[in-house]
């Protein structure tokens, strides 16, 4: 499965890992799984690791924007670190963030997982 998640309840963080070129429905189902997981609480931070994934298509990005808008309530006030492998994936992530207009979610973009973790945990 190219989209998987783990929840570190004590640290209040969700790790979302994407590999390859999964369809949007698989990404969506993983996030819906997070929201329905008993270990998850609104306000947990996210670290999304896309370093082993292809840059998402325009259609994927458009569908992500709609999904994020519809589910901002489940996310709550949090930090979401997007770890990306290249400028194309970075640009797609920034488009989703800017167009989704998330008021409660602070998003950071990183090429390094350790830097993303430091930011999420407030140790920049």
Q: Which range has the worst mean pLDDT, 9-13, 39-43, 88-92, 111-115? A: 88-92
- β-pairing, 3-8 vs 13-20, is antiparallel
Is the separation of the CB atoms in 73 and 41 below 8 Å? no
Query: pLDDT tens across 42-95, in order?
Result: 999 999 999 999 888 889 888 988 898 899 999 999 998 989 887 766 677 777
Cα–Cα distance between 13 and 107 in angstroms, integer? 14
Please tell me which residue, 58 or 113, carries the higher pLDDT value: 113
The per-type count for the chain, helices as H runs and strands as E runs, is 5, 5
pTM: 0.88
Angle between helix axes 58-70 and 24-36 (nearest 10 degrees) is 20
Query: What CATH number does the domain containing 80 carry?
Result: 3.30.750.24
pLDDT at 65: 82
What's the structural domain count of the chain?
1
pLDDT at 51: 92
Cα–Cα distance between 111 and 50 in angstroms, integer? 10
Q: Please choose, from the candidates 5, 14, 7, 1, the residue with its C-alpha nearest in 3D space to the C-alpha of residue 105.
A: 14
pLDDT at 124: 58
Query: pLDDT tens across 29-44, in order?
Result: 999 999 999 999 999 9
pLDDT at 90: 65
Residue-range definition of the domain harbouring residue 97: 3-120
């Amino acid at each position: 499965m190219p989209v998987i998640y783990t929840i570190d309840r004590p640290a209040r963080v969700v790790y979302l890992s994407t590999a390859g070129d999964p369809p949007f429905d698989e990404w969506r189902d993983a996030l819906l799984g997070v929201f329905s997981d008993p270990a998850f609480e609104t306000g947990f931070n996210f670290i999304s690791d896309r370093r082993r994934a292809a840059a998402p298509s325009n259609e994927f990005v458009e569908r992500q924007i709609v999904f994020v808008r519809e589910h901002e309530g489940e996310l709550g006030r949090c930090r979401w670190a997007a770890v990306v492998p290249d400028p194309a994936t970075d640009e797609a992530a920034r488009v989703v963030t800017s167009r989704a207009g998330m008021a409660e979610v602070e998003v950071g973009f990183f090429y390094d997982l350790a830097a993303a973790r430091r930011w999420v945990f407030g140790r920049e």
